[in-house]
Amino acid sequence: MSRRPRTRRAHQSVVRFFRRALFPALVVTGAVPEEFARASGFLTDQFGSDRGQPALPSTYSVYFNPAAMAGLDGSQLTVDGVVAARLLDYTRSSSALSYSGSQPGADPYTQSNTGPAHLFNVLTAPFGGFVTDFGGSRLRLGVAVYVPFGGEVSWGKNSAYASSALAPGGYDGPQRWSSISAITSSVYSTAAMAYRFDEARLGLGASVSVIRTGLTDVRARNVDGSDDIQSNGSLKEGRTFLDVSGVEVGAAVGAYWEATADGALRFGASYTSRPNFGTMRLKGTFKVDPASPGGSPADLLQAYPDIIRLGAAWRVSPATEVRLDGNWQRWSAFKDQCIVDPGTPCDVNSGGVASGPSSNVKLDLPRDFKDSFKVRLGVAYWAEAQTELFGSMAFESSPTDTKNEDALIFDSTRLSFTLGARHAFGKHVEVSLSNTFVYLLPVTVDDSAYYTYPEPSRSPSANGSYSSQIYIVDGAVSYRF
């Protein structure tokens, strides 16, 4: 792989960098508003489409593998946008009824707490990134803003209960005990450095990120964890409102190697830490309506995964490249979502039992995720020097067990299929567009554990059937100079 000759005047590189590189990068990264930083699910790193892997040098390498920046020459600025349409159907079964001991009756309790619920959300997530080699040096710098974790949920309404006096809460649907609406996003602002060892064709890199995480959640809730709608002839069903946010830090390291002198065979590996290198503490307010109409200060404790990525790309002919990558997501760190008094720990054991009668835990949602993995095989074909056609298939295991599935965090084994194209307009501008279809295998839950936990971890059962599909469009414009 030929490379540009090294510049001999360092001051010219620095001047060129600040004039032509750093300023546009700051404009892009500073222009990404958080309110648009939403996508489906928890791990939503769909930006870059098939180029989002550790063996392919690009501006996306700032996140997927900072070392792969060593495979880039010159400077590159990329603006990327992901639009995802998510469909989720849940039918809550009669085995999910979780009444407190009184006779539930067939109507309106059973009817308002069982049956189908539907979700259709169109969501967006941006990426803005910049990488430079400072005019031909061995050093690379990259900066980017993006949203690898995020989600938005807003369920459809059950119009049959729009004006019900006996079960007004039924208007929010039978899934309301797990989710009515929720928004979460972790916005990463990342700076990455890489160094290229020319003789070994090796790149080593690292990055550091400042992460701004926010979460709001509204759901139906009774203090005793039941799904009762009435008690002694009076309305009992309540609501909880959670609004928290926080700032964390994270880091990543990686390696990139061109195994052949022409760069036809490349390998990459990276490790990305958990946000805050462990547990996040998000601060805000928690309101139980009508028990505490004003709300009270509270913290949310939770942990996202660290991720190990491996990738390879082989240019088997001048017009064809085969790509293989995978990752290991350590979701076993996501044990629960625990709402506590400010500054206090989550004193709940693995069985959901709080330690002592005066526990500081306001509400605990056991999750007990397990590690998951993803494997993707893709092919790129250059119909002409300026036009690349690409496609891939992927398999991703689910981090959830059926006992802890619910309408908010539903996940299952995923099959993904991607088709896309990339075209260069001259030497400087490149445009790409791709479409990905994600099929989640349907799941029937008959062993939901939520109502078996003691307080403060008890919630109504989430038994029932789930099915979901996601349609993702990714578009990007890159400028090279």
The one-letter amino acid at 372: S
Q: 462: which 2 tokens?
A: 């989430």
The answer to whether residue 306 is domain-embedded is: yes
C-alpha of 104 from chain center: 39
The one-letter amino acid at 433: L
* pLDDT value of residue 378: 98
Checking phi first, is residue 135 left (phi over 0); if not, alpha (psi -120 to 50) or beta?
left
The answer to whether residue 3 is domain-embedded is: no
Look up residue 179 and give its DSSP letter: -
Q: 84: which 2 tokens?
A: 């995802």
pLDDT in tens, 140-160: 999 999 999 988 899 999 999
In contact, 339 and 359? CB cutoff 8 Å = no
* pLDDT value of residue 43: 65
Domain that holds residue 160: 10-480
The answer to whether residue 28 is domain-embedded is: yes
User: Residue 5: helix, strand or coil by DSSP?
Assistant: coil
Question: CB under 8 Å, gap of 24 or more: what pairs does 23-31 form?
Answer: 24/77, 24/130, 25/77, 25/129, 25/130, 25/143, 26/143, 28/77, 28/79, 28/128, 28/129, 28/130, 28/145, 29/128, 29/129, 29/130, 29/143, 29/144, 29/145, 29/189, 31/128
436-439-442 Cα angle (round to 5): 170
User: Residue 475: helix, strand or coil by DSSP?
Assistant: strand
Q: 433: which 2 tokens?
A: 């567009």
Pick the closest to residue 450 from 336, 331, 332, 330 (CA basis): 336
In contact, 434 and 443? CB cutoff 8 Å = no
* pLDDT value of residue 231: 87
pTM surpassing 0.95? no
Q: Which class for 200: exposed (0-12), middle (13-18), buried (19 or more C-beta within 10 A)?
A: exposed
The one-letter amino acid at 364: D
Residues in the chain: 481
CA dihedral 477, 373, 40, 333 (to 10 degrees): -120
Q: How far is CA 359 from CA 9, 340, 363, in A?
A: 65, 9, 10
Q: How far is CA 314 from CA 95, 377, 393, in A?
A: 52, 12, 17
Distance CA 457, CA 338 (A): 9
In contact, 91 and 217? CB cutoff 8 Å = no
The answer to whether residue 279 is domain-embedded is: yes
Contacts with 233 (C-beta within 8 Å, 6 or more apart), sequence order? none
E-strand stretches of 198-348: 202-221, 230-231, 234-235, 238-258, 265-272, 280-289, 296-302, 307-317, 320-329, 336-340
Distance CA 184, CA 407 (A): 15
The enclosing domain of 224 has a CATH number of: 2.40.160.60
Checking phi first, is residue 65 left (phi over 0); if not, alpha (psi -120 to 50) or beta?
beta
Count of domains observed in the chain: 1
Distance CA 13, CA 74 (A): 11
The answer to whether residue 37 is domain-embedded is: yes
The answer to whether residue 138 is domain-embedded is: yes
Distance CA 39, CA 122 (A): 8
The answer to whether residue 2 is domain-embedded is: no
The answer to whether residue 5 is domain-embedded is: no
List per-residue pLDDT tens for the chain, 481 residues long.
444 444 444 445 444 444 444 444 444 444 433 333 332 235 688 999 999 999 999 999 999 999 999 999 999 999 999 999 999 999 999 999 999 987 666 689 999 999 999 999 998 999 999 999 999 999 999 999 999 998 889 999 999 999 999 999 999 999 999 999 999 999 999 999 999 999 999 999 999 999 999 999 999 999 999 999 998 888 999 999 999 999 999 999 999 999 999 999 999 999 999 999 999 999 999 998 865 556 799 999 999 999 999 999 999 999 999 999 999 999 999 999 999 999 999 988 766 565 544 578 999 999 999 999 999 999 999 999 999 999 999 999 999 999 999 999 999 999 999 999 999 999 999 999 999 999 999 999 999 999 999 989 999 999 999 999 999 999 999 999 9
Q: Torsions phi, psi of 112, nearest 5?
A: -80, -15
The sign one gets for the Cα dihedral 174, 176, 180, 183 is: negative
